[in-house]
Amino acid sequence: MSGVFCGIDWAEDHHDVAVVDQQGSLLVRRRINDDAAGLRELLQLLAEHGDDAGQRVPVALETSRGLLVACLRATGRQVFAINPMAVARYRDRHTVSRKKSDHGDAMVLANILRTDMAAHRPLPDDSELAQAIAVLARAQQDAVWDRTQAHNKLRSHLREYFPAFLNAFAGVRDGITRPDARVLLAAAPTPARARKLTTPQIAALLRRAGRQRGINAEATRLRQALRSEQLRQLPSVEDAMGTRTLALLRALDAAATSAAELADATEQAFEQHPDAEIITSFAGLAQLTGARILAEIGDDRSRFTDPRALKAYAGAAPITRASGKTTAVLHRRVKNQRLATTGYLWAFAALSASRGARTHYDRRRAAGDRHAAAQRNLFNRLLGCLHHCLQTGQRYNEATAFPTTQTEEQGAAA
């Protein structure tokens, strides 16, 4: 430990820097630009106050992203991303007037490291490949959310004037997000134009969308569905709504294309990582969901020293609030939302892929848990197994993960 601590109040075009010593005395304050010259000035400033290759000065900011953070992490120093809400609480320790300034925030960040560094977790030392996977996996997840939002907008709009189209794809997997549905809607965005389509024309649109089997039967079914009786808007209103449909459809097409392309890139990068084989050995985890898991937990083995830390980070571990004779056990709301979302999908898929997972879920349901609580408990169990496997380099083993289930099966067989 160098005995010197640095706090940086981040802004878009400049950053305020404060360096304090072990007693909290301000050693230097500086405003630097958000460019290469500003980074050189910052590193020179730290070097003048004891920063060297063997003893790096730790740095605290309110963000974990950006070029400045990436360059500071590349120097091999500890970089702490402090939650802005936590910084606001620390600010009250230094002033009661609630005054605020960029330099003051930099001072608060530096003093957080001076007094409570052990209570905060530095940014993980993930490999370059793990960081690249995180970028791709998060972008793909964002694209999926954008696709869902675009789908919901388009579906809500079609309900107002073209319910027959929605009914035509109501029982089909992926609904109106399917390529053939989008191609058909682009060719006939209104009921009037849809009624003019012939069966050969619909078949040609299905081929254009990439369909290869059952084209004639599907074209006949769609023609009948699009010509079914439905309520109609006035002709001019219907045409205007059809124009809006084309605009919404372009947004859906873009989101769907982005999600598909990013999924391919994410899976290709994930396959190159040495942890991919271990992660995908778990029941319910495929390439894409496995990449999302790796993106959030990283490959820095020192990041989560025990399974409890990982479970709390993912929001799978409950939180206990006790005061006097009152004790309440609640689910954790402050968590990594991306990891929690992927965990829900993982646990749901594991119910049909793992007999042990299904038995564990049923046991929790029988004990009185609702579906979400039982699934969260299963995710908690699977995370503990994942932490052990990654730490030891072992693949997932059903008998080890759920030994009670194996014992019950052997007893039933006997």
pLDDT at 2: 64
Yes or no: say if 8 and 106 are a contact pair by the CB < 8 Å rule.
yes
User: How wide is the angle at C-alpha 154 spanned by C-alphas 171 and 151, nearest 5°?
Assistant: 65
Yes or no: say if 126 and 137 are a contact pair by the CB < 8 Å rule.
no
Ordered DSSP codes for 350-364: HHHH-HHHHHHHHHH
Q: What's at 40, amino acid-wise? A: R
Q: Output DSSP code: residue 56.
A: P
> For the chain, what are the domain ranges?
4-119, 134-268, 278-413
Yes or no: say if 108 and 91 are a contact pair by the CB < 8 Å rule.
yes
User: How wide is the angle at C-alpha 182 spanned by C-alphas 139 and 246, nearest 5°?
Assistant: 90
DSSP E strands in 282-355: the ranges are 319-323, 326-330
Report the C-alpha gap between 227 and 342 in whole angstroms.
41
Report the C-alpha gap between 43 and 32 in whole angstroms.
11
Report the C-alpha gap between 360 and 376 in whole angstroms.
11
Structure tokens at 247: 């605009």
Q: What is the total residue count of the chain?
A: 414
Residues 6 or more apart in contact with residue 305 via CB below 8 angstroms: none
Yes or no: say if 154 and 245 are a contact pair by the CB < 8 Å rule.
yes
Angle between helices 287-297 and 235-271 (to 10 degrees): 70
Q: For the whole model, what pTM was predicted?
A: 0.86
From first to last of its 414 residues, what are the pLDDT tens digits of the chain? Answer: 568 999 999 988 899 999 999 998 999 999 999 999 999 999 999 999 988 888 899 999 999 988 999 999 999 899 999 988 888 888 877 776 677 888 889 999 999 999 999 889 899 999 999 999 999 999 999 999 999 999 999 999 999 999 999 999 998 888 999 999 999 999 999 999 999 999 999 999 999 999 999 999 999 999 999 999 999 999 999 999 999 999 999 999 999 999 999 999 999 999 999 999 999 999 999 999 999 999 999 999 999 989 999 999 999 988 888 888 888 878 888 899 999 999 999 999 999 999 999 999 999 999 999 999 999 999 999 999 999 999 999 999 999 999 875 555 555 444
Which has the closest alpha carbon to 79: 1, 131, 3, 5? Answer: 5
Report the C-alpha gap between 410 and 414 in whole angstroms.
6
Structure tokens at 312: 């709390």
C-alpha distances out from residue 237 to 166, 192, 204, 233, 310, Å: 19, 12, 29, 6, 55
Yes or no: say if 162 and 243 are a contact pair by the CB < 8 Å rule.
no
pLDDT at 405: 57
Report the C-alpha gap between 391 and 290 in whole angstroms.
17
Question: What CATH code is assigned to 4-119?
Answer: 3.30.420.40
Yes or no: say if 3 and 21 are a contact pair by the CB < 8 Å rule.
yes
